[in-house]
Structure 1
């Protein structure tokens, strides 16, 4: 059973930090990829990213098998039109349009390309005009194409995953905190209004300092999750806060700041385990 709880559209930036060190011959022989390896210390570590995908899928799709969701599409009657794919791209919130445009640039004439005019018309609404009855079937056909799967991966990273990790690192929070940011951006969007990620973060900063500003990580993350719960309760579709209360709070109470397995949590009454 699919139980996605989605959000609005969003944007962000990419930051890059580098350093160099000149020393004797022994230093000169150090591996060239040492800096890159050191940088992947958070949610962007491949093993941690896989855990993040499973955690989000447990809430969005009641399943840990996130790779089975490329073909998923339905209208969940949340005012955002069709919700589809591995992260819940929505026809009413611009991210689905961006995705299909990317796919069409990479593979013109694909199964979804003919629906681009309709997607542009319904963007920002819950309308299906021009999409019914064939769009869901076209989406499922496209999901058999590796190029479409890759486009979904790339847009997920550009719009949701990378911004969350970059902002989390800038705030000095570790893997769990970066995941809390990611899950919030997925649901609420990367905007600046009170119930978007930006508003949630501001509400948390009013109550606690992140480690980058000399604060305690656990205290700050508790403040962030409090702000997240408040934002969720502002919208009926998000009023079940178990993806925070019986998942992220559990990891935080256990001081599992690195999201190290085994992990046990519940979302919307369903129990999940990563060994």
Structure 2
């Protein structure tokens, strides 16, 4: 998981239309459609408690607590604040059965207005989108599809230091083909996706193995976009055995 930073908005070196396009493509991978699904909540049986929204927040990490804390700042009286005592860092949050009423409370608060969605977007930008754009800038990845690949990888794998993380995948790709700054951006992105596909097929974290193996197809979609639409020119076709959608 990416470090907790105070930066919240999209990076200024990428226009809002492309930001939305990138997020919409990852939404398809996460919830099956380009539109965000803030009401998605499910226990995937991967040892991480509930998985929530198109961003894939999980209740056994600090992120869900951060969302509720921010939401409480925006909507002081709500039914989610009491769950902070059952979530990290105060509790593990891994057993969804112990989070009695959490799913209903989440849906109830979403129906109240846009503040819970705003809290989710702010935390997601801080944890996933901004670090992905910063990594792209640092490594010299300029293609829109490269920025999508970085965002989608951090979203799913996290930006920590474990062997399945974005950083580990990037390091392996650089060792294999060199830095994108050396005029090898496309070659680097192909290597990056190859490394990511291997991680999804054989992750070191055995608890996520079954779920991740089922998601290998998202790498195939990204590889196809890299080959045929690296600029993510609309309409972007997202098609595979599991996906068939279009992003404008």
Say which one has the larger Rg.
Answer: 1
Tell me the CA shift for residue 176 of structure 1.
1.1
Q: 2:136 — aligned with what?
A: 168
Count of matched residue positions in the alignment of Structure 1 and Structure 2:
236
User: Structure 2 matches for 1:77-156, cutoff 5 A?
Assistant: 77-120=45-88, 123-124=91-92, 126-128=94-96, 130-132=98-100, 134-144=101-111, 145-156=113-124
Seen in structure 2, the aligned counterparts of structure 1 residues 120 and 63 have a Cα distance that, compared at 3 Å, is same
Stretches of structure 1 lacking an aligned partner (at least 5 in a row): 1-8, 16-38
Seen in structure 2, the aligned counterparts of structure 1 residues 12 and 110 have a Cα distance that, compared at 3 Å, is closer
Say which of 74, 81, 86 aligns to 2:42.
74
Higher relative contact order (CA 8 A, sep 6+): 2
Q: Is the 8 A contact 2:86 2:92 kept in 1?
A: no
Seen in structure 2, the aligned counterparts of structure 1 residues 154 and 118 have a Cα distance that, compared at 3 Å, is same
Seen in structure 2, the aligned counterparts of structure 1 residues 123 and 49 have a Cα distance that, compared at 3 Å, is farther
Tell me the CA shift for residue 83 of structure 1.
1.0
2:30 is the alignment partner of 1:55: no
Q: 2:231 — aligned with what?
A: 258
Q: 2:206 — aligned with what?
A: none
Stretches of structure 2 lacking an aligned partner (at least 5 in a row): 204-208
Residue deviations 1:94-119, cap 9 Å, x none? 21111112212333222201111012
Q: 1:239 — aligned with what?
A: 213
Q: Is the 8 A contact 1:111 1:142 kept in 2?
A: yes
Residue deviations 1:145-174, cap 9 Å, x none? 211111111011000000001111111112
Q: Is the 8 A contact 1:243 1:266 kept in 2?
A: no
Determine the C-alpha separation between the residues in 2 that align with 1:91 and 1:12.
Answer: 16
Determine the C-alpha separation between the residues in 2 that align with 1:139 and 1:14.
Answer: 24
Give the alignment's TM-score, normalised by structure 1.
Answer: 0.79
Seen in structure 2, the aligned counterparts of structure 1 residues 207 and 75 have a Cα distance that, compared at 3 Å, is same
Q: Is the 8 A contact 1:71 1:140 kept in 2?
A: yes
2:164 is the alignment partner of 1:195: yes
Tell me the CA shift for residue 258 of structure 1.
2.0
Q: 2:35 — aligned with what?
A: 65
Q: Is the 8 A contact 2:5 2:126 kept in 1?
A: no
Tell me the CA shift for residue 89 of structure 1.
1.1
Determine the C-alpha separation between the residues in 1 that align with 2:175 and 2:91.
Answer: 34
Determine the C-alpha separation between the residues in 2 that align with 1:87 and 1:73.
Answer: 11
Q: Is the 8 A contact 1:14 1:166 kept in 2?
A: no
